[in-house]
Structure 1
Amino acid sequence: MSAHVLDVFMLFGDSITQGAWEPGRNGFGQRLSHVYARKLDVLNRGLSGYNTIWSIPCLEQCLAKSADKSAPKLRVLTIWFGANDACIKPSPQHVPLLTFVSNLERMVEMVKSPTSPHYSPETHIILISPPPVNTFQRRADLESRNPPLKLDREFETTRSYAQAVRDVASEKGVAFVDVWNLLWEASDRNEQELSRFLSDGLHLNAEGYRIMYEDLVSTIAREHPEVHYDNIGYVFPAWAEIDWANPDKSLYVTKRDE
C-alpha cells in the first residue's frame, strides 16, 4: 500500500503525545488508530521532553508544503504542548508564558495562513491543554531517582499555561480540548487525587488517556463532524463489495466520503 493512499491525522506534541501508543496505557493515539483504520493514517509526531521553541522547526519539517500536490492531505492536526514549557527556572525546558503563546500562534498560522508555505485550509486544528500537575506525586518521583532531582513544576504555573492554550484556541478560532479542567474536575479538585489519572504526577495513565480520548472524539463530532470516524468511508472497499471476477476494477478506485 502506498503511504499516500490514506489522508492523515497527525498528533503533534511532547512526551504525552509520544506515549499515546505505549503498551498498557490504552493511549489516545492507539485508540484513534483503531477507529480510523482504513480511513485516515494516524501519525505519532510526539517529541518527548520538547517545548514549543524546539518543536517549531520539527513541525515545519513534518508539514507538507502546499505546492506538493502529491502529498497526502492533512485532515486533522492536534497540537498538545505546555507540560514542558511550564517547567520552572532553571529548567532548560522552561518557556516564558508570552513566548509560549506566540509559539502556539505560530504553529496554528503555519497551517491557517494563506501566506504560509504549509497553508492547508482543509486541515482541522485542535489545541489541547496540558494536564494539571500533581506536585506531590511528581516530587516523590523525582526524589526517588539517582541522583535525586528537585521539583521542576508548580500546580498554578501549569494552570496558567493551560489557560493560555484555551485563549489561543479562542483567538484563532480552532477547536480546543481542555485536559486540565477535565482531570481537575474528575479528581474533585483535589491535587493529590490526580494520581488516579497520572502515572508520575505529569504523564497520563490509562484512565487519564481514556478521559482525554473521549473528550477529543466528542470535540471532533461537535466541531468537525466531517472528519469524525463514523463519517469517513473506507479507502478500499469492504471485501464483500469487491468485484471478485475482476478485482482490480474495484480495488484501484478509492472509496471515501469527503
Structure 2
Amino acid sequence: MHKSAANPFKKTRRFADFHAEWSNALESTLLPLLRESLSSYSSSTLTQLSAAVHALHCHLQSYYSALNLATSSSSSNQLPQLLYPPWRNSLERPFLFLGDLHPYIFTTLLRSLLENDDDDSDDESAGVALEDNCNRFLGRPWQVLTAWKNPSIYTISQIEQIECGVRLMVPELGERAKAERARFVDRVAEQWMRASSEKKKETTASLGKAAAAAIQGLAGVFLDANRLRKSVLADIMSATTVYQAGLFLEALAQFLVGLRDRELLEKFQHCPVEIR
C-alpha cells in the first residue's frame, strides 16, 4: 500500500497541511504510476495495473477517513473550515457538496466513460486496422482502449444502481444540512430576543451552546456525506474490471489535479464575466 494511504490523519495536524500533501502525492506519484500501468505492454501489465488501481483507490479512501477523523476528534473546532474549506480555490468550490467533492462527480465521470464508448461500439467498418492505429497513437494496449466498449449487463446494472443510490441520498443530506442550519438560526434568534432581560455573559454562554449543538448536528451530516463518497467509490471499484476501474480513476484524478492547475486557475480568475 502506498505510504499516504497507510498514514492516518493526526488530530494535532492542520487539515490544510494534510490536504496539500495528499494532493501532491496524487499528482506527482499516484496518477503518473497509474498512467504508466495503463500504457504498459509488459507481461506483468495486469499485476502492475491492479496495484496502481488499488493504491489510488486507497489514497482516495484515506482522504475521506482523514476528514472523518478530523470531524470526530474531540478537539475539532475545525468543522466550519471543513465544511467551507479555505484551502479550496475558486475553481474547486463550485464542485463541492458539504465540504468536499460532490458525489455526482463520480457518477457523471462514470457515465461519460460508458456513453463515449457506446457511440461507436457497433461500428465494424473500423476493423482491426483502426484498433492498431489507435494503439500506436495512444500508446495503450488493446485491453485498455476497449475497456468501456460493450460493458457487461452486470456492469451496466451496477452503475445504474449506484446512480440511483446517489440520487436518493444527496437530496436527503442536503435537506438535513438545511434543517440543522435553520435550527441554529432559530436558537440564536430566541437567545437574542432574551438578551435584554439576561446578563450579557449568560447570553453569550447560551449562544455558545446553540452553536455547539448546531456543529454537532452538522458534523453528523458531514460524516454521512463522507460515508456516501467512500461507498460510491468502493461500489464503482466492485462493479468494474481492473481496466475500467483504471480509466475511471485516471479521469477522476486528472479532474482533481486539473482544478488545481495554476495556469488554468489564473485564466479563470481573470476571465471577464458579464453580470446580468
TM-score above 0.5: no
**Which has the larger Rg?**
2
Which has more strand, going by share of residues?
A: 1
Greater RCO, 1 or 2 (C-alpha within 8 Å, sep 6+): 2
Which has more helix, going by share of residues?
A: 2
